[in-house]
């Protein structure tokens, strides 16, 4: 089975505690909560590498040109087209050039849609649920870029860390 890899960042403990609190308060909802250890912000969406070792080598040789700046989630909202509950963030002057550089390094195509920083909190949200948008101010500074492998099991999807590059 071909591997699926992607690049992202993990939220810090502050964000994870806020998401955990939300999950506990809304545990009654008929949704599939993303396990806390799987929370992440995707920078480059999953792809099946033609040469896994080459992509791993490319990742490990990346240099970050600038220190990480704080990232801010401003709301938690229901994204009906994909039936997910997600935290959405502000446009980041740090992420925009970083994503562009990652696309170039890995020869990945430009997305059809403009990039929106987000973190999926729950999947399989029934469209008939009326979940109002909630304003939040969750801010964190990304500590590392992570090359993940998306591993599909019978029960769910797990995100395995393959390599990490410090941003601090």
Tell me, what's the pLDDT at 80? 85
Tell me, what's the pLDDT at 11? 96
Is 97 a residue whose pLDDT tops 80?
yes
Eight-class DSSP state of 92:
-
Say which residue, 155 or 23, is predicted with more confidence: 23
Domains belonging to the chain, first-starting first, are 5-62+72-166 (3.90.1140.10)
What pTM was computed for the model? Answer: 0.91
Say which residue, 131 or 36, is predicted with more confidence: 36
Burial (Cβ within 10 Å: 0-12, 13-18, ≥19) of residue 132: exposed
Other Cβ atoms less than 10 A from the Cβ of 11: the count is 22
The model's pLDDT over 122-153, given as tens digits with 9 standing for 90+, comes to 998 888 888 889 999 999 999 999 999 999 88
Tell me, what's the pLDDT at 115? 86
At residue 45, the 3 state secondary structure works out as strand
Tell me, what's the pLDDT at 66? 64
Q: What is the mean pLDDT of the chain?
A: 90
Nearest to 42 by CA among 108, 119, 112: 119
């Amino acid at each position: 089975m071909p591997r699926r890899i992607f690049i992202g960042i993990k939220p810090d403990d502050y964000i994870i505690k806020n998401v955990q609190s939300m999950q506990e308060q809304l545990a009654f909802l008929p949704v599939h909560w993303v396990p806390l250890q799987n929370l992440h912000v995707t920078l480059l969406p999953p792809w099946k590498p033609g040469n896994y070792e080459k992509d791993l080598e490319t990742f490990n040789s990346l240099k970050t040109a600038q220190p990480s700046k704080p990232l801010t989630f401003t709301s938690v909202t229901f994204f009906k087209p994909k039936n997910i509950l997600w935290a959405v963030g502000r446009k980041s002057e740090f992420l925009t050039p970083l994503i562009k550089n990652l696309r170039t390094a890995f020869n990945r195509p430009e997305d059809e849609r403009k990039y929106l920083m987000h973190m999926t909190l729950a999947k399989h949200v029934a469209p008939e649920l009326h979940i109002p948008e909630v304003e939040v101010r969750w801010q964190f500074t990304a500590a590392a870029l992570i090359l993940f492998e998306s591993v599909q099991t019978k029960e769910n999807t797990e995100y395995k860390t393959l390599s990490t590059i410090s941003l601090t």
